[in-house]
């Protein structure tokens, strides 16, 4: 596996094997000198072993020191804050150690945790990162070209060595369907992603002093999950981004195994506070507090961790490894701040509710905000209000009352899906009641029916809107990620609001700033697509598109007398079903399609009739998206609510090299697809409309805009 280091750093030295290393000495050196050198080498080896032990297991109390600045107690500008004493902090450490010991005594639980993906990679590489911390600190976070040059030079040799040491299968790069130029073509042009290495959850998005900020889970050392820091980028328009230095790194005992997901809250006096999960040196998940080092710095480049961290330990009824990802806090009429943390209890997903008057001393409530049986671990919780009248105007997280609904969202750790439920929040009893328990959290609505996870929203007071970020993971192999030197992107930021027409859904739509990226337009209109028709959109070569297409709703124009057998509806969104046949559908778009259609990603509608009722499905068929065999080609789909008054079916499909984001019926349903063409790359990609149904379908309009590339830079390189 390759390490994206600066050009002057010798990557091979980081992987130096002491078992195979040898030294050649001159025969003129006396026996005594040889003996002295041998003794000296033994002494140095023992010293290194001791230091390595301390690096991995923690230094004794007397030897501990801080790698980064913490917030002094007298510099926290909050009224009524009760600072923790050093003795309290030591007591907190003792409690985390006790929790970890009890976890280890429960062999089953500990073994289960050890198989968790968050730990498997982390412990394997923590030694390497700590041994070469100075090298990693100089990693080329701000220079992707140097990173890629180094990665390509050493990827295969490094991968083979590391794979053997970890008993992983060795990936033969000669069998890859992509050369390095083709792998570069899979990198997105206008979706946010770091210049190199691994990214996952969006963290603490916010708007402050004229700039948007996006923090994110980031491994600055490799293109896979590992020892996680907080990456940080800034923007004036949510589209063009500048990378700034890492906001927080795992340099304290309470986050030494990872600075995990968190949220931002603006307090009443304007203070910006971040709560985040730390994974301690004893493998306990705790909640920590951080503040900007300079609140007047519009870039928010430096962050200080509160000296009294952690501010919260796991409650006794949950496992120490099932307590993470605090929400943005909201202020109640009683003057208390509240927030939730995700967990599970006896297989049930739970949102643990806490309150505080000073943002330091938190008290657990006597009830959970919400609990759903059998849904497993809830992570990356989000809780926010939306206007009941369906206005797209957003409101702050602390708003409540008869004019609002509340949205509770959880990322389901078992399924890696984001579910939401809409309901009512009682601001006096601090309880949440879903509008419809048949579609309760984990059983009903999803933000996205494709590759979209660990989402986080924030209130944008500049645009008076609620904006949602979500993580799009890779679907190819880890070996390919290592070879290309990067992994994962963020979905386009979406504005989100309540759908007053259905009274059950949220609407999600790309922020309006994305429209500024549109360039030349290609159109079709008033075309009847007979059964079996495939039509190329003239001039549609390219892999960066923003497409809006509408079809006449065949059911709304008097065709409901046609019938098909009762079926398992969503089975028609399964693998290869874009080539199936029904009365109405499949019909829609083929994007990222090769000229001969050997590769294609189909986005289509399909109508089914069950128990006398017509249902509209939307599907993304990725079974032919790539000729490569080592990629996930899962197909996705969902039922789409279509109202009787709606005479048109609409799709907005945004294509960005290896990403396809689909918004259906104005954003009632969203599907994100991750595809890896081998032929349909760059200008070899084509756009088609098709109808595989037996009945003709009327295409009312299609407008396809080419989308310009967004050049993202490190802040330091544009000064």
Tell me how many helices (H) and strands (E) the chain has: 9, 37
Coil, helix or strand for 23? coil
Active site residues: 201
Structure confidence by residue, pLDDT tens digits, 496-545: 999 999 999 999 999 999 999 999 999 999 999 999 999 999 988 999 99
Range scoring the smallest mean pLDDT among 101-105, 234-238, 300-304, 487-491: 101-105
Instruction: Judge whether residue 669 has pLDDT over 50.
Output: yes
pTM: 0.79
Q: What is the pLDDT of residue 614?
A: 83
DSSP state string for 457-475: EEEETTTTEEEEEEEE---
Rounded Cα distance, 398 and 87, in Å: 35
355 Cβ contact list (under 8 Å, min separation 6): 332, 336, 337, 338, 362, 363, 365, 430
> How far is residue 305 CA from its own chain's centroid?
23
DSSP state string for 69-100: -EE-GGG---TT--PPPHHHHHHHHHHHHHHH
CATH 2.60.40.420 for domain 136-498, yes or no, is: no
What are the structure tokens assigned to 518, written together?
């549109």
Rounded Cα distance, 390 and 616, in Å: 23
Structure confidence by residue, pLDDT tens digits, 146-183: 544 444 444 444 445 555 555 544 444 445 676 777 88
- Which contiguous run of DSSP H or E holds residue 162? helix 144-165
Rounded Cα distance, 234 and 184, in Å: 24
Range scoring the smallest mean pLDDT among 16-20, 306-310, 482-486, 704-708: 16-20
Q: Give burial (CB, 10 Å; 0-12/13-18/19+) of 42.
A: exposed
For the chain, what are the domain ranges? 136-498, 520-707
Q: What is the pLDDT of residue 97?
A: 55
What are the structure tokens assigned to 433, written together?
């009641």
Handedness of CA 334, 295, 230, 89 (dihedral sign): negative
Structure confidence by residue, pLDDT tens digits, 263-297: 999 999 999 999 999 999 999 999 999 999 999 99
User: For all residues of the chain together, what is the average pLDDT?
Assistant: 82
Contact predicate 323/259, CB 8 Å: no
Rounded Cα distance, 635 and 601, in Å: 10
Instruction: Judge whether residue 72 has pLDDT over 60.
Output: no
CATH 3.30.70.580 for domain 520-707, yes or no, is: no
């Amino acid at each position: 596996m390759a390490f994206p280091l600066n050009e002057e750093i010798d990557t091979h030295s980081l992987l130096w094997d002491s078992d195979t290393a040898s030294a050649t000495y001159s025969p003129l050196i006396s026996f005594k000198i040889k003996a002295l050198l041998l003794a000296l080498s033994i002494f140095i080896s023992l010293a290194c072993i001791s230091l390595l032990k301390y690096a991995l297991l923690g230094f004794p109390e007397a030897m501990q020191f801080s790698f980064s600045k913490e917030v002094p107690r007298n510099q926290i500008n909050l009224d009524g804050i009760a600072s923790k004493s050093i003795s309290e902090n030591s007591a907190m450490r003792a409690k985390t150690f006790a929790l970890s010991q009890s976890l280890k005594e429960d062999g089953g639980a500990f073994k289960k945790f050890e198989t968790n993906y968050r730990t498997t990679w982390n412990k394997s590489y923590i030694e390497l990162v700590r041994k070469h911390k100075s090298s990693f600190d100089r990693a080329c976070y701000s220079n992707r070209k140097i990173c890629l040059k180094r990665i390509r030079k050493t990827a295969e040799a490094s991968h083979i060595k590391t794979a053997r040491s970890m008993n992983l299968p060795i990936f033969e790069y000669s069998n890859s369907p992509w050369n390095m130029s083709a792998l570069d073509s899979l990198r997105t042009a206008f979706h946010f992603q770091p210049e190199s290495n691994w990214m996952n959850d969006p963290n603490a998005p916010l708007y402050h002093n004229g700039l948007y900020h996006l923090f994110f889970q980031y491994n600055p050392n490799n293109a896979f999950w590992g020892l996680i820091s907080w990456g940080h980028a800034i923007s004036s328009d949510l589209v063009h981004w500048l990378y700034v230095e890492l906001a927080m790194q795992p340099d304290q005992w309470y986050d030494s195994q990872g600075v995990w997901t968190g949220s931002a809250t603006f307090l009443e006096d304007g203070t910006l506070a971040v709560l985040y999960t730390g994974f301690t040196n004893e493998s306990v998940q705790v909640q920590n507090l951080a503040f900007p080092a300079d609140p007047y710095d519009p870039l928010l480049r430096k962050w200080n961790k509160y000296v009294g961290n952690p501010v919260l330990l796991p409650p006794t009824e949950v496992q120490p490894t099932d307590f993470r990802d605090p929400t943005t806090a909201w202020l109640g009429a009683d003057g208390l701040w509240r927030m939730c943390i995700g967990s599970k209890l006896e297989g049930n997903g739970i949102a643990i509710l806490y309150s505080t008057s000073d943002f330091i001393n938190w008290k657990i409530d006597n009830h959970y905000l919400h609990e759903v049986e059998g849904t497993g671990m809830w992570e990356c919780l989000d809780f926010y209000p939306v206007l009941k009248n369906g206005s797209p105007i957003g409101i702050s997280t602390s708003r409540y009352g008869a004019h609002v609904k509340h949205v509770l969202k959880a990322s389901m750790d078992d399924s890696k899906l984001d579910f939401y439920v809409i309901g009512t929040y009682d601001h006096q009893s601090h309880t949440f009641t879903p509008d419809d328990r048949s579609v309760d959290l984990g059983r009903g609505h999803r933000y996205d029916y494709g590759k979209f996870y660990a989402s986080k929203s924030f209130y944008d007071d500049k645009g008076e809107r609620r904006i949602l970020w979500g993580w799009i993971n890779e679907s190819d192999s880890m070996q390919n990620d290592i070879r290309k030197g990067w992994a994962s992107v963020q979905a386009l930021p979406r504005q989100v609001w309540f759908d007053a027409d259905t009274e059950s859904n949220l609407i999600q739509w790309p922020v309006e700033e994305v429209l500024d990226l549109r360039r030349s337009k290609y159109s079709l209109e008033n075309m009847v697509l007979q059964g079996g028709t495939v039509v190329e959109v003239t001039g549609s070569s390219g892999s960066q598109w923003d497409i809006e297409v509408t079809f006449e709703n065949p059911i709304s124009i008097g065709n409901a007398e046609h019938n098909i057998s009762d079926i398992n509806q969503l089975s028609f969104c399964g693998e290869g079903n874009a080539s199936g046949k029904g009365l109405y559908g499949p019909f829609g778009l083929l994007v990222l399609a090769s000229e001969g259609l050997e590769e294609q990603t189909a986005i289509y509608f399909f109508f089914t009739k069950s128990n006398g009722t017509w249902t509209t499905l939307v599907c993304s068929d990725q079974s032919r998206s790539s000729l490569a065999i080592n990629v996930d080609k899962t197909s996705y789909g969902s039922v789409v609510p279509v109202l009787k008054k709606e005479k048109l079916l609409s799709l907005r499909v945004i294509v960005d090299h290896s990403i396809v984001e689909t918004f259906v019926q104005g954003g009632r349903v969203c599907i994100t697809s991750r595809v890896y063409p081998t032929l349909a790359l760059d200008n070899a990609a084509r756009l088609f409309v098709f109808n595989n149904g037996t009945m003709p379908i009327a295409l009312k309009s299609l407008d396809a805009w080419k989308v310009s590339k967004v050049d993202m830079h490190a802040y330091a390189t544009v000064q």
